[in-house]
Chain A
């Protein structure tokens, strides 16, 4: 049975990583306790060879560095946008689908480190923008940062099913957004449009009068529609079921990006799959992450065959995780 398995770091400067040293590499069978090659997904480089040639060590992992906050803007009482001046290489590395960083206030201890998606990366001025919603202890600590902040990155696994977004060319894509999860969808839209695709965004305002991401989507040239997807019981409103179905027929979308909570993914993917099972899905990655290196295990979810997925590093097919009660 074919499994869409990918490690976002495979073949990068961060590969082989700590998982390889402990026999837990996501891709390489030889670095996963086996004695013979059985590559799960070839990325153009042999991880085992890289590991042996590296003297049986992992490559250096990412570390926190201190950068300046050049702009701090409250989009709502509990939603903060930060513009951070970083190095050229970091801004360039973060100008990719699914990019995120770990942020931390210098005075706080390591457990405060929080993964935050990149809203935009300005590679000319080397400025990254992030949007943070005040939710718990870690996000509250970021709100306290004034002039400087610690940033650890780049990480790229903020969107699952990236393959389906990357292969879109001269086509169209539907983005369904709700809440703070719209931030990674903005950067995704930028990348999708670069490949000459049209992007249609259904943007849920949530509790605000307007979603903070709207001006970004509009400036990128997306078709944006304000919506309020859910009724009081949290179900998808009939009006939008009808609307989505109409859009799918009209635009002939090959891929849909769902940018909301995991419950939102489940609702959208199951609804759309019932209309057209050949549509591919990408989803914003909402897994709990602590270390971002697959080590701590907080990101581990179970796949459809009960296999462990280290969701901070591993790419999966969102259908395999979010489709419920439907045999494919």
Chain B
């Protein structure tokens, strides 16, 4: 059985890996020259409820990628405003590590290759077309193309292309495969009723910061400094993707995290103003290159799905990551991608795709996000284990814990320990 995964971000990697573990023949197609997509400028794992989610996935046998992010950690147990026990992975080491891991598992990968269209028979996708017209057939398809960009969207709904890691001008725009197959996209909204949301952090070149800041960052993983009163811009919080970081503290302070680069926890920051702060006199942006002006726009292309991650209205298309909902973060992408990969293989075998139980945080978030998306209010929210309304819900439902034994016991009680490690073919 041939599973084709479109998009090599965290979610696509998780889906490809899981489909391979289940025994399928997997082809992963990525438009740029690197895996992980925006994950190349991510880095924050295991903060707040993400700890629970990562441990649940490990207990379920779907924790390979979490173990890799742990392996590439620069700092563990970091605290910063509103967030506890975060692990910060090294964004520079992460991509090659994941790429080698997938290659060792014989997952076929195509880079610098863009999928632009589909061939359908009834409600089934028969094959996909690459940008040069090449046609490739498959049995089941997983779309993990995300919802970020392309340039026209970043311009209409943001402040223009800020030259982010996705590099649309070099590799071409993201195409919504579900839309090409005839299913309309859902759109995330902002507080002011406009569409999309802006990525919530940038990367500063660490070498461009003062020795003092760099040393502190490398020792503690975090550096916080107050923003001059006249430059505090609370409005910027409204446009942010990452509602878990849309706290007053992030508007009033510069919060830097050491992820290899210095991760600046704000969507963008005018360079001139940034350089006024002590130790930032020589600072420059690493990603997006024009982080002084803007950041990428996201949530403009989600496919309607059920809780097995299958797209509503197409028989053999599954989705993960931001393509599958208003999820924020790599943990969420890996969780949804893994389930999409697993269910794609089940569908291919003629078995019924499964939902994850809502007694697990990883199952609950998938079901909860889907319910919430029904309302306009829900479309304004983002869903992450790391904060905002969903972390509150985790706490209310007693899903949040950092006790590994409890999490393992949960999986065992459900008879789901090692579930994602089972070979289906």
Contacts and interface: CB of A to CB of B under 8 A. Distances in A.
Interface stretch (A45-53, A200-208, A246-254): A45-53
Contact of B173 (A2, A4, A35, A39): A39
Interface stretch (B150-158, B347-355, B371-379, B417-425): B150-158
B116 A2 contact: yes
A164 to B, nearest CB: 10
Contacts of B131: 42
Contacts of A28: 152
B109 interface: no
A36 interface: yes
What's the dominant secondary structure at chain A's contact region? Answer: loop
Contact of A48 (B135, B156, B170, B175): B156
Contacts of B301: 36
Interface centre among B150, B161, B174 (most CB of A within 10 A): B150
B149 A37 contact: yes
Given A1-B117, A38-B176, A49 B133 contact: no
Contacts of A3: 117
Nearest to A39: B173
B138 interface: no
A262 to B, nearest CB: 24
Given A2-B133, A49-B161, A39 B153 contact: no
A44 interface: yes
A30 interface: yes
A35 B297 CA distance: 14
A46 B116 contact: no
B151 A46 contact: yes
Given A39-B150, A46-B155, A48-B155, A1 B172 contact: no
A3 B131 CA distance: 10
Contacts of B173: 37, 39, 42, 46
A111 to B, nearest CB: 37
B119 interface: yes
Contacts of A29: 152
Contacts of B152: 28-30, 36-37, 39, 46, 48-49
A49 B160 contact: yes
A92 B149 CA distance: 36
Contacts of B170: 44
B120 to A, nearest CB: 8
A306 to B, nearest CB: 18
B150 A37 contact: yes
B300 interface: yes
Interface string A84-126: 0000000000000000000000000000000000000000000
Nearest to B155: A49
6 contacts: A2-B116, A29-B152, A36-B300, A38-B179, A44-B169, A52-B160
Given A2-B129, A36-B187, A45-B169, 7 more contacts: A1-B119, A3-B117, A37-B150, A38-B179, A44-B169, A46-B151, A49-B151
Identify the 5 closest CB pairs spanning chains A and B, nearest first. A46-B151, A2-B129, A42-B172, A48-B152, A37-B152
